[in-house]
Amino acid sequence: MFNKILIANRGEIAVRIIRACRELGIQTVAVYSDIDRNALHVDLADQAVCIGPARARESYLHTENIISATVLTGAEAIHPGFGFLAENSKFAEMCRECRITFIGPDPEVLEMMGNKAKARQMMIKAGVTVVPGADGVLEDFDQALRAAEQIGYPVMLKASAGGGGRGIRIVGSAEELKKAYETARNEAKAAFNDDSMYMEKYLEEPRHIEFQILADHHGKVIHLGERDCSIQRRNQKVIEEAPSTILTPELRKKMGEAAVRAAKAVGYKNAGTVEFLVDKSGSFYFMEMNTRIQVEHPVTELVTRIDLVQEQIKIASGQELAIEQEDIQIKGHALECRINAESPTLGFRPSPGKANILLWPGGNGVRLDSALYNGYEIPPTYDSMLAKLITHGRDRTEALNKMRRALDEFIIEGIDTNIEFLFQILDNDKFIKGEIDTSFIAKEFNLR
Ligand code: MV4
């Protein structure tokens, strides 16, 4: 096992990783930017190293500075968290060259899964059902046109280098295709310096259901069930839950097996997520694989009682997975609400500033993952997620009631938050009935 781990991240997830390390008896090194000198992760870690100015490019994304901090402090491994360098194959490669363990999959796998068109090809080869569409990247407009005719409109153009909703376009007809193809390519070129595109049939109002997997370095892969992440706004998840209200045990088994097959096909190691779209008939299609620990991992932790971050560290140290697929039993129901410093009445614009916490939620079945403390000055520089409130009940209704109760207790002054907006979702009849899909917020709240 490692003696010391450097956490290449900030905020709530840095705190989450430090906590896991503590419980495993591992020393921690925090890194921070100038503007984060008073951040909680800096205080909680055993050591902290400043890695540059506020701008992420010059600090949390600055690979040389992070590697230097690791060598300087004698940390043997880096946990990248999510965002920043978590899915950066070049960074994982640098770690390898410097003999530092990157807590995550191999650089080759990061590279492969980062290219969404390649990932799709790999899944076809592995026998995992993908969304109907064209094989491989589109060579030119004529090929795109022929592909769309064959697939049938509406189609979706996706950037190979995109993912998570970036660089995608819905195309309703052949007339729209020319312009959509050109602008999507230009956008992808500007955003990712890679304009290769692929095409899928556009599925209407699908559910976003993802499977958590764990894979050790000895060929063992298991899945830990699903999370339903259909409640999103502009490709940002807002509420996640486990289990999904639409999965039968049979469908869960089939999708879980597909997720495990996907991971095995690419030689996946560590924790990962296989994202599927599920249509009204219950057919499911591979969409993307996320090669990191995810924001919403706590809902899986609550229904499986497995500490995913501890498992990541144990796997990276070379230990064999001590959990069998048969040991995984989904118990009860968990919900997660992302609490953001933002103003829903002002188009959800970020609301940085000094937070005055009058009351923290707590009690039976309530978990709060946050890097917030009273008097903390939320910087305008990074994302606006303040806290994740997660509840666990014996069933969905109990988890929902606990969430309402816990949200009601949470009193933050000094900044705007989305807490009221979360209440409105939780009180929506369709949400209560579990009748959700990826266009829920757009439809129910006239938002886009
Ligand atoms: C789709 C889709 C429908 N059909 N692909 C958006 C996020 C990115 N991971 C892919 N996304 C979608 N891909 C096909 N072929 C609908 C979406 C989508 C979506 C997916 C998951 C959660 C929320 C979403 C909101 C809008 C669109």
Tens digit of each residue's pLDDT (9 = 90 or more) over 257-267 = 999 999 999 99
For residue 286, the CA-to-ligand 1 centroid distance in Å is 11
- Kindly indicate the confidence band of residue 291, based on its pLDDT and cuts at 50, 70 and 90: very high
Confidence at residue 84, expressed as pLDDT on a 0 to 100 scale: 98
Substitution candidate for ligand 1 out of 235, 289, 436 with most atoms within 8 A of CB: 235
> What pLDDT band is residue 247 in, cutting at 50, 70 and 90?
very high
* Minimal-distance CA residue to ligand 1 atom 10: 165
Ligand 1 pocket, residue 195 CB under 6 Å: no
Active-site residue identified among 207, 252, 292, 338:
292
Condensed to tens digits (0 to 9), the pLDDT of residues 382-429 reads: 999 999 999 999 999 999 999 999 999 999 999 999 999 999 999 999
User: Residue 91 is encoded by which pair of tokens?
Assistant: 């960074």
d(C-alpha 413, C-alpha 355), whole Å: 6
Dihedral of alpha carbons 294, 300, 305, 311, sign: negative
Whether the pTM exceeds 0.85: the reply is: yes
pLDDT in tens, 181-222: 999 999 999 999 999 999 999 999 999 999 999 999 999 999
Per-residue confidence band for 448, with pLDDT thresholds at 50, 70 and 90: confident
Which residues make Cβ contacts (< 8 Å) with residue 191, sequence separation at least 6? Answer: 159, 161, 162, 166, 167
Q: Residue 163: its pLDDT value, please?
A: 81
Handedness of CA 98, 101, 105, 110 (dihedral sign): negative
**CB of 203 closer than 6 angstroms to any ligand 1 atom:** yes
- The rounded distance, in Å, linking the Cα atoms of 284 and 128 is 10
Give CA–CA dist 371/363, Å, rounded: 19
Average pLDDT, the chain: 97
**Residue having the nearest C-alpha atom to atom 24 of ligand 1:** 438
Cis peptide before 243 (omega within 30 of 0): yes
**Rounded distance between C-alpha atoms, residue 336 and residue 435, angstroms:** 17
- Tell me which DSSP letter residue 432 carries: H
Domain 132-201: give its CATH architecture. 2-Layer Sandwich (3.30)
Question: For residue 171, what pLDDT is reported?
Answer: 97
pLDDT of residue 165 exceeding 80, the answer is: no
Distance 230 CA to ligand 1 centre (A): 10
In this structure, are strands 27-33 and 47-52 parallel, antiparallel, or unpaired? parallel
Decide whether any atom of ligand 1 lies within 6 Å of the 131 Cβ: yes
Residue 29 DSSP class? E
* Burial track 291-304 (b if 16+ CB lie within 10 A, e otherwise): bbbbbbbbbbbbbb
Is 96 a known active-site residue? no
- Predicted confidence at residue 89, as pLDDT, reads 98
Domain with CATH 3.30.1490.20 in the chain: 132-201
Instruction: Tell me which CATH code domain 207-444 carries.
Output: 3.30.470.20
| Segments of the chain assigned to CATH 3.30.470.20 | 207-444
**Residue ranges of the alpha helices (H) in 55-173?**
63-73, 89-97, 107-114, 116-126, 141-151
Architecture of 4-103 per CATH?
Answer: 3-Layer(aba) Sandwich (3.40)
Domain with CATH 3.40.50.20 in the chain: 4-103
Q: What is the mean pLDDT of residues 145-173?
A: 93
**The tokens of 267 are what?**
């030689």
